[in-house]
Amino acid sequence: MRARRDQISKRESAMIERKQFYIDGAWVDPVTPRDHHVINPATEEPIAVISLGSEADAVKAILAARAAFPAFSETSLDERIALMEKIIALYSAKMPEIAQAISQEMGAPMWLASAAQAPSGLSQLMGALNALKEFTWEHSRGNTRIRYEAIGVCSLITPWNWPMNQIGCKVGPALAAGCTMVLKPSELAPLDAMILADIIHEAGVPKGVFNLVNGDGPGVGSVLSTHEEVDFVSFTGSTRAGIEIAKSAAPTVKRIAQELGGKSPNIVLEDADLQKAVSSGVMQVMTNSGQSCNAPTRMFVPRPKLGEAAAIAKATAESVVVADPAGDKRFAMGPLANGRQFEKVQSLIEIGMKEAELVTGGLGRPEGFNKGYFVRPTVFVSQTNDTTIAREEIFGPVLTMIPYDTEEDAIRMANDTVYGLSGYVQSENLDHARQVAKQIRAGMIHINGASTDSVAPFGGYKQSGNGREWGDFGLEEFLEVKAVMGYGAVAAE
């Protein structure tokens, strides 16, 4: 019994405690503290305690951002460039700490947290800085001057699956545009965001420009969506939540940009290298434990090649090593980020086992794990595109393979979804792949496994959202356009 008490005491003494919010340039106590434990998904044990904010906390942050907006929106480009360069330098120095926080709070293996999760935030900040330097802020059309100006106070609501990437692609362009903001990171993965707040404070960002309030949707998110002093809401998360935010923002006619769900098709064409196309497609699904909105979770293969393709997918999925994210196994897959997501994925796998053929994986944790939100890499074959697992976003390491008879049939099924975030095309003939890519109704198309491009627009069609992020496309979301008529012609731009 004493040994058990010693273990508990040791764990609690090591627990991080960060209950304050960053408002108006300082860390401040919540108006009404409400403790919330951050859970390590590999151990199901708490690693930190934060406070969940209330309406009063959110309003304080919004009003601080409003007060700071007039001065910050008028800062020069050189001032904002210098500020962002300081933030980037400090972020680079803290990269290992950020990676460690992400791994512990949402379960990304340390190799992935260090190689992709933490660096993605840096990449977004650098992309916003480059856009700031290169953007044409004013130009003339005859006697009219066209100006781009900061949109105002921005609510930034971010998810837990790629936490720093999504924070970076909102905070970066907001600062570059001259906006002020309130960030609500996911209460399930808030620690990396609080490190960023420390960085922003150390960089000397003027008080009130950046504010952070932890909280859940009902307590903080709803206020950030409805308050009349908020001009713009940038949200990344589920389509269900995005719909509610749009409804909440409608009465005050706020502008909204949303990056929502996906069920991305991966068309393996007849002339593709089957081994390469299928194996790479499986691995793209399994990366980040399947918790990427643009993952190619529906794979369409020619019906005569279905058996061979399924065998390749089975071998590839079974080669995936599931491991403790704190370990050093490169390319290993970690747990899902939280218990709710674990239960959702298990439920959909169970449904899939009733309506489709299970190729590999299935219910329960992988062998060797009796706790933690670990999921078996799973592959199904569904004979149609109408099954639950072919239509719902599972957001876990689960691939659904679907046979097609003609290329036209594959394209039709690829587009037969409420989503339209990404699409993938595999072919040895580049012109052929390009022709098919043109016909997929999605915001981003990847040919032959091409990775995302940091200077390309990120966003989707249909219920995958509206607006675009990354680079100059992301910067424009934080800007209003003003036409000054009668300005007079400018001799030299």
Which CATH number is 372's domain given?
A: 3.40.309.10
Work out the average pLDDT over 195-215: 98
Please provide residue 35's backbone torsions phi and psi, each rounded to the nearest 5 degrees.
Answer: -65, 145
Number of residues assigned to the chain: 493
pLDDT averaged over the chain?
Answer: 95
* Residue 488 domain flag: no
Give percent of the chain above pLDDT 90.
94
Residue 53 has pLDDT above 80, yes or no: yes
Neighbour count for residue 376 (Cβ, 10 Å): 23
Calpha distance 412→409 (Å, rounded): 5
Q: Is 134 helix (H, G, I), strand (E, B) or coil?
A: helix
* Residue 490 domain flag: no
* Residue 491 domain flag: no
The burial class, CB within 10 Å (0-12 / 13-18 / 19+), for 415 is middle
Question: Do 256 and 319 share a domain, yes or no?
Answer: no
Do 161 and 106 form a contact (C-beta atoms < 8 A)?
yes
Question: Do 92 and 211 share a domain, yes or no?
Answer: yes
Annotated catalytic residue: which of 105, 169, 293, 477?
A: 293
pLDDT per position as a tens digit, 427-441: 999 999 999 999 999
Work out the average pLDDT over 452-469: 95
pLDDT of residue 493: 57
Question: Do 180 and 251 share a domain, yes or no?
Answer: yes
Q: Which parts of 342-420 are beta strand (E)?
A: 357-360, 378-381, 398-404, 419-420
* Residue 492 domain flag: no
* Residue 473 domain flag: yes
- Residue found under tokens 């929502």: 260
Question: Do 224 and 126 share a domain, yes or no?
Answer: yes
Residue 365 has pLDDT above 50, yes or no: yes
Beta bridge partners of 211: 182
Annotated catalytic residue: which of 187, 259, 393, 469?
A: 259
Question: Do 292 and 412 share a domain, yes or no?
Answer: yes
Residues contacting residue 182 through CB under 8 Å, at least 6 positions apart? 58, 61, 62, 65, 153, 154, 155, 156, 211, 212, 213, 224, 230
User: Is 293 an annotated catalytic residue?
Assistant: yes
Question: Do 383 and 332 share a domain, yes or no?
Answer: yes
pLDDT per position as a tens digit, 225-242: 999 999 999 999 999 999
Count of structural domains within the chain: 2
Question: Do 280 and 405 share a domain, yes or no?
Answer: yes
Torsion angle, alpha carbons of 308, 311, 312, 317, to 10: 160
pLDDT of residue 329: 84
Question: Do 45 and 163 share a domain, yes or no?
Answer: yes
pLDDT of residue 3: 43
pLDDT band at 6 (very low <50, low <70, confident <90, very high): very low
Calpha distance 83→320 (Å, rounded): 42
Residues contacting residue 253 through CB under 8 Å, at least 6 positions apart? none
Question: Do 234 and 272 share a domain, yes or no?
Answer: no
Alpha helices in 113-151 (DSSP H): 118-134
pLDDT per position as a tens digit, 104-144: 999 999 999 999 999 999 999 999 999 999 999 999 999 99
Calpha distance 107→289 (Å, rounded): 9
Question: Do 318 and 228 share a domain, yes or no?
Answer: no
pTM summary value:
0.94
* Residue 370 domain flag: yes
pLDDT of residue 13: 45
Helix pair 118-134, 77-93: axis angle to 10 deg: 160
* Residue 17 domain flag: yes
User: Is 187 an annotated catalytic residue?
Assistant: no
The burial class, CB within 10 Å (0-12 / 13-18 / 19+), for 144 is middle
Residue 9 has pLDDT above 60, yes or no: no
Calpha distance 492→152 (Å, rounded): 30
pLDDT band at 335 (very low <50, low <70, confident <90, very high): very high
Question: Do 277 and 410 share a domain, yes or no?
Answer: yes
Work out the average pLDDT over 409-435: 98
Residue 458 has pLDDT above 60, yes or no: yes
pLDDT band at 492 (very low <50, low <70, confident <90, very high): low
Work out the average pLDDT over 58-66: 98
pLDDT band at 14 (very low <50, low <70, confident <90, very high): confident
Residue 24 has pLDDT above 80, yes or no: yes
User: Quick one: CA dihedral 431, 436, 441, 445, positive or negative?
Assistant: negative
* Residue 493 domain flag: no
Structural domain range at position 93: 2-260+465-483
pLDDT of residue 454: 86
Phi-psi group of 344: left, alpha or beta (phi > 0 → left; psi -120 to 50 → alpha; rest → beta):
alpha
pLDDT of residue 309: 98
CATH number for the domain spanning 138: value is: 3.40.605.10
Question: Do 255 and 273 share a domain, yes or no?
Answer: no
